Amino acid sequence: MADREEGRGLGLAGAAEEASATADCAGSVQAGDRRDTADGPRRTAQAAPHDHPDLPPLVEEHCADVSYQMVRRYVSDRKPEILAASGKAPVEAFVLQTHLPGHEAEVDFGDVTVRLAGELVTCYLFSLRMSYSGKAIHRVFASCGQEAFFEGHVHALRTLGGVPRSKIRYDNLKSAVSQVLGLNRARVETDRWIAFRSHFNIESFYCRPGIEGAHEKGGVEGMIGYFRRNHFTPVPEVDSLAELNEMVNQWDLHDGRRRIGSRPRTVDEYFAVEQPLLMPLPKEPFETGRLFTPRVDRYSQINVRTNRYSVPTRLIGKRVRVVLHASHLVVYDRNAEVARHERLIAKGGCRLDLDHCLEALIRKPGAFPGATALEQARSAGNSRRSTTPGGPRPARSTASGTAPGR
């Protein structure tokens, strides 16, 4: 108890001293002051942060204009350093690991900046890296949700030609983990993730939460940084994510010819050793999209994940089936596809297809000049209907950042 109180007093006084120096206040922290602050009562769970019993005396004595949160952060950072300097805590050491061919991989997301159709947006780079060879497969998505998580796996495993035999390391991302149980490795996984990894026979391994566990999958962490520095600087300019992912595929092929560190062979040469050792892919496909059943409103639009998308006017008032993928969505009326849209990146947006509104515009020609769908089509240079030999096909849809006026 004495050691606990001493450490507590030292941390608070040290924080006040740091704040005092920052504020250029006169005076210094004496040893007696530290002992005095250590005798205060422990903060209870009901006390507000600014009502901490030790904080007002420290603020008054050392002229430190600090909050309890600032003191708390300082103590959290300094306490391990003080314990290590005094020999009471061991210095953290890292153990070199050897990975068997075809046995392990690591997965992570990283954000990247892209100029998409003239607009600067933030997208998400999925990366799966084989631990033995360093072979990495990437894919860019509009979001890092569960749909992108699954589609990234499918693309990577198909490109690699198999599944790692032992385990794949993950963060505790919400797409896979619904709850972290205590301080051990036990996790409550989401139902769809359990079904997905069972389908592909994936053995998951979850790193420790927070920054403490980042080194446990340091290979993919470093790979994302390398990929971002070498291929997303300067910012790439593309018209669509499909075009960008074609570029990403070429970058992956190019990176396979490089050597990592002082290794004598290239990434592809090492991967040629482990590729035959991967487990085979399942023959049946897995539906990675998420199902929704929204009702079509009177503007012939549906609401999916805070964004609105148009459908043919004949479906007003009906419920339709929507399969939401990472980069696009497909709308079905019973078993027939009636609309297909590129997924919006921002929230609160609206993507309209001029073909879906023509029937209503024919009946109400007065609404034609100010029609939002027409304005979007004009801005995209797509005011003409496109048709196929099988009949009318929805024209390429256009998007706006805000919903149309009603």
Q: What is the pLDDT of residues 316-343, one digit of tens each?
A: 999 999 999 998 999 999 889 999 998 8
Measured between alpha carbons, how far is 249 from 140 in angstroms, rounded to an integer?
Answer: 10
Please say whether the beta carbons of 169 and 129 come within 8 A.
Answer: no
DSSP type of residue 277: G
CA distances from 27 to 20, 52, 60, 227 (A): 8, 23, 11, 51
Amino acid at site 202: I
Helix (H) / strand (E) element for 290: namely: strand 290-292
Instruction: Find tokens 């036990």 and name the residue.
Output: 186
Q: Tell me the DSSP string of 299-330.
A: TSEEEETTEEEE--GGGTT-B-EEEE-SSEEE
Measured between alpha carbons, how far is 54 from 91 in angstroms, rounded to an integer?
Answer: 30
The mean-pLDDT minimum among 10-19, 98-107, 241-250, 342-351 falls in 10-19
Q: Count the residues in the chain.
A: 406
CA angle 220, 225, 229 (to 5 degrees): 145
The mean-pLDDT minimum among 46-50, 58-62, 263-267 falls in 46-50
Of the CA atoms within 13 Å of residue 365, those in its CB half-sphere come to 1
pLDDT tens track for 353-375: 877 777 776 676 665 565 666 66
Closest listed residue to residue 173, CA positions, set 152, 141, 146, 133: 146
For strands 321-324 and 307-310, give the pairing: unpaired
**Interval 63-90 mean pLDDT:** 80
Q: What is the CA radius of gyration of the chain?
A: 28
The mean-pLDDT minimum among 82-91, 101-110, 227-236 falls in 82-91
Cis-peptide into 294, omega within 30 deg: no
For strands 350-352 and 136-141, give the pairing: unpaired
Question: pLDDT at residue 176 above 80?
Answer: yes
pLDDT tens track for 85-96: 887 777 677 777
Percent of the chain beyond pLDDT 90? Answer: 47
**Interval 115-124 mean pLDDT:** 91
> Cβ of 308: how many Cβ atoms within 10 Å?
21
**Interval 237-265 mean pLDDT:** 94
pTM: 0.69
Task: Please give the pLDDT value at position 353.
Answer: 82
Amino acid at site 361: L
